[in-house]
Structure 1
Amino acid sequence: MISFQNVSKSYHIRKFRKDVLNGLNFDIPTGCSLGICGANGAGKSTLMRLISGVEAPSEGRITRTVSCSWPIGYSSCFQSTLTGADNARFIARIYGRDIGQLLDYVEDFAQLGAYFYQPIYSYSAGMMARLAFGISLAIDFDCYLVDEVTAAGDDRFRQRCEEALHHRREAGTLLMISHDPHTLRAYCERGAVLHDGQLVFYDTIDEAIAVHTYNQAN
């Protein structure tokens, strides 16, 4: 279970205050596959960072009874001057995983070749997504957070991502952000729409997509 209790998030830039999320109250049950829709700048990635614990709320409380991945595709979770392999070693130590096994899994899954042993500041966005995806899947989480990462890579890599995500969805909780309705329908049963700082839940992903499409048109 992931529970938000009166959660708000604001950013202060010089003398300007940006309110992104306002007084959110909701529970996400274990085993849910939820697709989150919203316009660019609505706060979807901010919401994901709050769920994962990468950022703290400005107000309110977030309770987790499950382990959550970092948002897959969120490059700021890595140290850019270290190699992909060194970042993987560091994360293996944090989570108490066997370093050799984790490195073997990530190297095979991400298929970065020699770049796996290069500093990640030299990576493209797609390569960063491959690394993040591979490391996330190398560690067993109860809840996986996915932010558009399935768009990265060639057809073969996307197929591997799809197979891995379907497996994780069957075994646990999956929360996904995507601008592609077909992707959301492929992975998610329920849906939610983030609009004007509020998150509204719907019984089906099709309902959420329809509301989001209407919001965009108006």
Structure 2
Amino acid sequence: MITLESLTKYYPSQLGNQYIFENLNFTLPEGRNIAILGSNGAGKSTLFRILAGSEYPNKGRVKTDKSISWPVALATGVHPQMTGRENTRFIGRVNGVENLDVYEEKVKAFAELGEKYDLPVNTYSSGMRSRLAFGTCIAIDFDIYLIDEATSVGDQKFRQKAKQALLDKSKQANVIMVSHDVKEIEEFCDSAVIVHKGELTFYDDLQEGLRVYKKL
């Protein structure tokens, strides 16, 4: 499970600190595929970044015993001077992948990079870079996958491939998703957390959560 303990997050401004969360205590239930919902500016993206470890609370902490992916579609940790293969091996080592050779080939095949896998990433198009980043993440068996508009990666054919890979993962692991696409949320998620006025509310029934979200 993931527990937020006395979590406080604010951003400085000319009007003083603008609090997103203040002394927030909350546990995300285990074994659920959760959509993070909220109106614009409510803090859902901030919460997502804190769960991903790409942003830190001002106070408090996130506590978990689960392995959590970085946001699936982001090119986090991909170094432009290294080749696709070198990036893959580096990411594999950092994440404790046991068989790097197998991992390397899985990523190459999934990302559909061909011989360009051995060229520096700074020679890649944005689509190629995104496919590499997606492949390095999806080829690792995490307990929880963080999904942020992940199925917008690449062309239509690759987007369908990416969506199917994530749906397959969601059957054996769990997902936490931020998306503006209700249809996509319904495909991936079975429950929801609504972010509203600095508080989090869990809805065991996704449809109930969506109804409340639409009234915000």
TM over 0.5: yes
Counterpart code for 1:160: K
The CA RMSD over aligned residues, in Å, is: 2.5
Counterparts in 2 of 1:68-217, with a 5 A limit? Answer: 68-97=68-97, 98-113=99-114, 115-121=116-122, 123=124, 125-215=126-216
Q: CA separation in 1, counterparts of 2:208 and 2:153? A: 27
Of 159-168 and 120-129, the range deviating more from structure 2: 120-129
The residue aligned with 2:6 is 6
Q: Is this contact kept in 1: 2:32–2:174, CA < 8 A?
A: yes
Deviation at 1:57, TM superposition (A): 1.8
Match of 2:90, SS state, is helix
Letter in 2 for 1:111: E
Change (3 A) 1:140 1:210: same
Q: Which whole-Å CA distance do the structure 2 matches of 1:201 and 1:187 have between them?
A: 16
Aligned length: 215
Q: Are the counterparts in 2 of residues 32 and 172 from structure 1 also a CA contact under 8 Å?
A: no
Is contact 1:31–1:174 with CA below 8 Å preserved after alignment? no
The whole-number CA distance in structure 2 between the counterparts of 1:15 and 1:126 is 40
- What secondary structure, in the 3-state scheme, does the structure 1 residue paired with 2:34 have? strand
Question: Once the 2 structures are TM-superposed, how far is the Cα of residue 34 of structure 1 from its aligned partner?
Answer: 0.4
Matched, 1:32 2:29: no
- Give structure 1 stretches of 5+ with no counterpart: none
- Name the SS of the counterpart of 1:75 in structure 2: coil
Q: TM-score, normalised by structure 2?
A: 0.85
Q: Is the 8 A contact 1:69 1:141 kept in 2?
A: yes
Query: What's the TM-score, normalizing by structure 1?
Result: 0.85
Q: Which sections of structure 2, spanning at least 5 residues, go unmatched?
A: none
What are the superposed Cα offsets for residues 59-96 of structure 1, whole Å, 9 maximum, x if unpaired?
Answer: 11211011111111233433333333322111111123
| DSSP 3-state at the match of 1:77 | coil
Q: CA 1:13–1:33 in structure 2 vs 1: closer, same or farther (change >3 Å)?
A: same
C-alpha separation in 2, matches of 1:112 and 1:29: 38
| C-alpha deviation, 1:114, in angstroms | 5.0
| CA shift digits 1:180-218 (9 cap, x unpaired) | 000000110001222333322212222222222222xxx
Task: Name the SS for the 2:195 alignment partner.
Answer: strand
- Structure 1 position 142, deviation (Å): 0.8
- Cα displacement (A) at 1:5: 1.4
Contact 2:192 2:202 in 1 (8 A): yes
Letter in 2 for 1:4: L
Once the 2 structures are TM-superposed, how far is the Cα of residue 45 of structure 1 from its aligned partner? 3.1
Please say if residues 51 and 62 of structure 1, whose CA atoms lie closer than 8 Å, have aligned partners that are also in contact: yes
Instruction: Assess, with a 3 A threshold, how the Cα gap between structure 1 residues 43 and 125 changes in structure 2: closer, same or farther.
Output: farther
1:136, distance to aligned residue in structure 2 (A): 1.0
- Higher mean Cα deviation, 58-67 or 122-131? 122-131
CA contact (8 A) 1:30 1:172 kept: no
